[in-house]
Structure formats: structure tokens, C-alpha cells
Amino acid sequence: MSTSGHALRQPEEYTMKELTNAVDTCARCGFCKVSCPTYPFGGGFETFSPRAKVYFLKDYYEGRAELTPEWVDRLYRCTTCERCQSVCQTAIPLVHLWEGIRSEIVQKGLGPMPAHKKLRALAEEFGNPYGEPATKQSQWMLPEHKPVDSAELLIFGGCTASYRMPPMLQTGVTILTRLGIPYAYAGGREQCCASPLLRTGQLETAEGLIARNLDLFASTGARQIVTPCGGCSKTLKHDYPVWAKKLGKSFDVEVLHFSEVYVRLIREGRIKPVKRVEKTVTFHDPCHVGRSQGLFGEPREILAAIPGVRLVEMPNSREQSRCCGAGGGVKANYPQMAAEIARDRVNEAIATGADMLVTMCPFCQGSFAQAIKELGASIELSGLEALLLESVTP
């Protein structure tokens, strides 16, 4: 049993009364504590668990506690992976609570964490948290990629895929190109989706980026936006409609993660994987793709369509999937903790006996690439679409 699938609203949509009511319903069962990937990094003390954080928020909302620097730090030690939320007995929108309190921390000038401030400064100056010039945004494109000026489908590369981990984006666009599906791409004008800022409570900067992206989307006339990134797709799907309403802008588009596009094309018979890919693989469900968007069946359907691929599941998969450690601003500010969480996940993958760890989020891929290197492990790492492309390429 899990509560995933409950219609959750965005933090801004909750009133303070609703949030305090949600906190009041906590059963203190501790299911969240056992499932939390960052709790073990608090020395084994209860206070670092989601359950204790909810108890603190109850104290805080009722005026019995203050946002001390220690509590601010604890509240930022969360990858927003939603595991706590998915096991919560009373379906408390826990991640909204974490994001909500983070924005309050920022408003009060008590946060965010130092690395998050740098992300904000870079995003404000360059439009992306990596501080890369806009001229570099399209550098991932291959010669065969031919975006058109105007199309129903708009590619949203996302900062991590565009600047740091391009294979998933490149391969996805290659597949579309080879199928003759027209697509537009606004390289150079795309702003950060604002996920790192929303997750770390920096709403003011996020608002600016979102507004510029909304204007950009409107100018292209696109009806669908596709992205390879878990964070971008979650943000565009769940946060943008709320912000568009708030900003009085239009956002009448369908947002898709690339895996959803592949599944549609396979079902329509337009993608025909024929070449055998003899691999035993295990699949990592990215938190913001799986738990956030409910896309558990899609990647498995794609893998099942590739001849020769044998899937072995990790003990913690689908709704119970463990985090890569990178989300929620954790990798930026707590890199050691993030790296250890990623190594734990890679070890879980290795224990399945699989040849290859497959995922479908550039953020996760980046974390695992580093973890595999640190572990000196021989397990291969691949994006889902790379296997698909291999199978459709004669």
C-alpha cells in the first residue's frame, strides 16, 4: 500500500491552515523514518527523520519552536525524493511541507544553504545554475539533428542534459529525427526550469525563470513539450500550471518525459526494436519520474520491447525505489551525503548481478557515473534510450 497517486497540490496552493492540519494528522508511525534516504546521515538520532521534522513543524506552527540554524540545516537535508510521502499512513503532502518551510526560511533570510545561493546567483545571471553562457546551450546537438522553427513538439533540453550529461537528450532527439518527427528547439533562449530553486525555497528567482520560459513556450506555439530530465518534467508538469495561473500567463501544453514519447511510438508501431541487445539490466526509477509522475510501467514496457534485454529488479524498485541522492539541492550542498546515497544505490544494482544499470534522468545518471567510478565497479551505466536506439539501428 502506498499513497502515491493521491492528487497532491503544489506548495503554493496550500493555505497555512491546511498545512497545519496536515501536520496534525501525523500518526507518528515512523514509516517515513524507515524509508528516508537521508535519515541515516543524522547519527542515528530520531530528530533527522521526517517524523521528527513533522513534529518540529507542529511545534513551529504553534509557536513553540524557532527555525534555528540547526533546524534549517536539517530541513535542507532532504532530496525531496517523495519516499516518505509515498508510505505516509495519513497521506500528508510531506514534500510540500518541506518545500513550503524552505521558502519560509528563505523569506525570513535564514537560508538557503550556501551552495543554493550560488545556484541562484548563477541562474539569475546566466539563466542556468551551471553558469554556462547561452551560446553553449545547443552544443549537445549532433549534425543529424534538424529542429524546425515551428512544430507541435518542443524539445526542452534542461540544464543538466544540455550542459553536463547530454547523451539522453542527444539520443532522444536522434530517435525523433530518424523517425521524421518534426520538433522545435529554442536553444540559447531556454531558461532553467527552476526546479533547483523551487526545491530549495528560492521562489523569487524561480518566478522570473518560469515567467521567461512561459513566454518562450507561448511564442513557439508548441502543443507538447518533451524533456529527458526527471526534474524538468516534474516541474513543467506539476509546478508550471500553478505558476502560469499565478502569473496570468498561458500554459496550454502537454508535458512529456521522453519515456512517454517512446512508449507511444512503440505502441503505434513507429518504433520497432528489432536488433537484439544481449544485456541483463536493472532499472533505477528516478524519484521525480517515478513517484512524482507515476511513470513506472513506461520504462519497463520499453525495456520489454527490446529483444535480448533481460530485466532484473532491485529489491527497492518502482514506488519503493531508492534515491540517487542528488535531488532537492542535496548534491549541491551536501555532496558527500549525496555520493554515499548514490553508492548505496549502485551497490544495490550490482547485487542483482545485472551487467548494466539503466535509468532515464540525466541527474541520476550523473550521480551514478560518479558512484561507479568511486566504487571501481564494473557495472555499465546507460540511459534507457541508448538501448532503444541500439535496438532500432540496423
User: Angle 7-11-14 (CA atoms, 0-180°, nearest 5)?
Assistant: 80
User: What Å distances lie between residue 360 and 17, 130, 246, 287, 376, CA to CA?
Assistant: 38, 21, 31, 11, 22
9 scored as a contact of another protein (CB under 8 A) = no
Of 12, 41, 67, 89, which lies in the binding site for another protein, with binding defined by CB under 8 A?
Answer: 89
**Exposure string over 333-368, b if 16+ CB within 10 A, otherwise e:** bbeebbbbbbbbbbebbbebebbbbbbbbbbbbbbb
Where does this chain touch another protein (CB under 8 A) — which range of 25-33, 126-134, 181-189, 286-294?
A: 25-33
Q: Which window, 67-75, 102-110, 243-251, 353-361, contacts another protein (CB under 8 A)? A: 67-75
Shortest Å distance, C-beta 263 to another protein: 26
Under rule CB under 8 A, residue 283 binds another protein: no
CB of 293 to another protein, least distance (A): 21
Shortest distance in whole angstroms from residue 379 CB to another protein: 21
Spell out where 271-314 has E strands.
Answer: 279-283, 309-311
Least separation in angstroms between CB 31 and another protein: 5
Contact range with another protein by CB under 8 A, out of 21-29, 111-119, 124-132, 147-155 = 21-29
Asked if 298 and 329 count as a contact pair (C-beta separation under 8 A), the reply is: no
Residues 31-50 contacting another protein, CB under 8 A: 31, 33-35, 43-47, 49
The helix (H) or strand (E) run that includes residue 20 is: helix 16-24
Q: Which is nearer to another protein, 20 or 177 (CB)?
A: 20
The nearest distance, CB 14 to another protein, in angstroms, is: 15
**What's the grid cell of residue 174?**
536522434
What is the C-alpha separation between 164 and 366, in angstroms, rounded? Answer: 8
Bin 180: left if φ > 0, else alpha if -120 < ψ < 50, else beta.
left
71 near another protein (CB under 8 A): yes
Of the candidates 156, 158, 170, the residue with the CA atom closest to the CA atom of residue 196: 158
- In the complex, the residues that contact another protein under the rule CB under 8 A are 1, 21, 24-31, 33-35, 43-47, 49, 52, 55-56, 59, 65, 68, 70-71, 87, 89-91, 315
